Every structure is written in structure tokens, then in C-alpha cells.
Amino acid sequence: MGVRIGVLALQGNVSEHIDAFERALETTGHGTPSPVFPVKRASDIAGCVALAIPGGESTTISRLIEKNHLHEPIRTFSGGIFATCAGMVLMATQVDDPRVCPLGLIEMTVNRNAFGRQKESFESDIVLAGVGGGPFHAVFIRAPVATSAGAGVHVLARVGQGIVAVEQGKHMALSFHPELGSDTRLHERFLKNLGF
């Protein structure tokens, strides 16, 4: 049976996440038939082992999650969640913006747009704790950071402004966009943590 992975398709890099997970599944020997597909309704989540929450605008995604009755189905999802940029904001227990209704799935406090506006977006090679293969080329676009993390959170990477990559249980949250490059090590690590 294939590894069903849903990508929340309300806003953001949906096709890029689908492509990155398909490449990671191929690399880990879990290629076809392993559907990676867009999720727009709560019923789409059924049977998934993992869900990706792409970047975008966190207040907009939060509002669309509520509008589409997805908050509780995502919050109670038994599989792993791979969240990037705005997805990291949504995974937090506390967010610096009252317009965001966080899912509370990773014990951390997150500041939206921690690096500034769109023009302050940048790329950087970062070191990921416990991830071999050398530095990871990370793309930060209006990125958030976690300013604090609970005792059960494994911090994978920090930069001067704060924490930019974490794991807790089955979940992984990143303030950058690994789906925009060819390096699938983080997608592969996420899948391995799920037993694939």
C-alpha cells in the first residue's frame, strides 16, 4: 500500500511540496503507488499518514482553515505534520498575532515576519543538528522564528533571530522553504520519523 501524503491546498507552494515529497518517497524507496495530493476538505485527510502545511500568509491560511472547518481535523490528525513558514506559525502554541488561531501542536512561541518584510527575504546555508550531508541551503521568505520552545521540542537549527527548525513527536516545523530547492533531506527525515 502506498504512503498517502496530503498537502493543505488553501494557499502557498502546494505543487512544490507535492514534487518534493514525491522525490523524497522515491529516494526512500516508497515511490509509486504513493499518492501525494492536495487537501481542501476534512474528508481528504482520511487515510493520510502525513500532512504538509505550506507557507503563505499565516493570517489568511488561519482564516481559510476555520472557514473550511479544518481546524479540528488537523489538530486531531493522528499522522505527522510537515509545516513550513506560515505552517510553522500555525503549528505553534503561541503566536504574536491575535488574528492567527494556532493549532497548538508544537510547544513553541512564534513571531511572524521575524526578519522583516518581503524585501528582507534571503537565502542562507544553515547547520541542522543530527542531519548529515553538510549545511542545508535554506530559503527564508518573510519568515517566522520560534523565540522559545518547550522541553519536548527538538531544536534542529537556529539563526541569530531565533529557532528556525524543530521537531516534536511526529511533527516537523521549519521557518524556511525546503520545497523550493532540490535537497529532500528534511522531507526524508520526516518520513523516516514516521517509520517510512
Domain boundaries, the chain: 5-193
Q: Look up 101 and say whether it is catalytic.
A: no
From the number of C-beta atoms within 10 Å of its C-beta (0-12, 13-18, 19+), residue 182 rates as exposed
Residue 39: count other Cβ atoms within 10 Å of its Cβ. 23
Q: pTM for this one?
A: 0.94
pLDDT digits (tens, 9 = 90+) for 100-118: 999 999 999 999 987 777 7
Q: Look up 85 and say whether it is catalytic.
A: yes
- Please identify which of the residues 22, 167, 179, 188 carries the catalytic annotation: 179
- Please identify which of the residues 85, 107, 167, 188 carries the catalytic annotation: 85
Query: For 143-158, what is the mean pLDDT?
Result: 96
Per the CB < 8 A criterion, the answer to whether 129 and 185 are in contact is no
pLDDT digits (tens, 9 = 90+) for 33-70: 668 999 999 999 988 999 999 988 999 999 999 999 99
Q: Which CATH superfamily is domain 5-193 in?
A: Class I glutamine amidotransferase (GATase) domain (3.40.50.880)
Mean pLDDT of the chain: 92
Per the CB < 8 A criterion, the answer to whether 176 and 85 are in contact is yes
